[in-house]
Amino acid sequence: MKISSNTVYEHDEHGEVLVLGVHHVFKDYDLDTERGTLVSRVVRYSVEWDGYGPMPNSLRMAETERFREQVGKQLRTPDFIRTDECVEDP
């Protein structure tokens, strides 16, 4: 199952959760070669959000495999996330 950022999923423990991203955790990383020793991948998600985004005190992380065991189907992309619009400085 692929986990998508900025998407609401059903979660066994928390109900609906907003996935903020999937991140790689490295033991070490060389910026010149852009390579490192991968330790794990984690999902960052929020259990509460409003019309502007996730509530800071509700942010959580879980290892990707553990998150996959607890998550159900993909539900929707919240209205406050604009994927079709880019704002540029004048």
Q: Is 1 inside any structural domain?
A: no
Rounded to an integer, what distance in angstroms lies between the CA atom of residue 47 and that of residue 8?
10
Residue 84 lies in a domain: no
Query: What's the whole-model pTM score?
Result: 0.77
Res 90: pLDDT: 44
**pLDDT at 33 exceeding the cut of 60:** yes
**Inside any domain, residue 39:** yes
Position 81 scores a pLDDT of 63
Task: Provide the domain limits for residue 59.
Answer: 7-76
The DSSP call for residue 54 is B
Evaluate whether residue 89 is within a structural domain. no
Give me the number of domains the chain comprises: 1
Answer yes or no: is 86 within a domain: no
Whose tokens are 């004048």? That residue is 90
39-52 pLDDT, tens digit each: 999 999 999 988 78
In a domain, 66, yes or no: yes
Structural contact between residues 81 and 51, judged by C-beta atoms closer than 8 angstroms: no
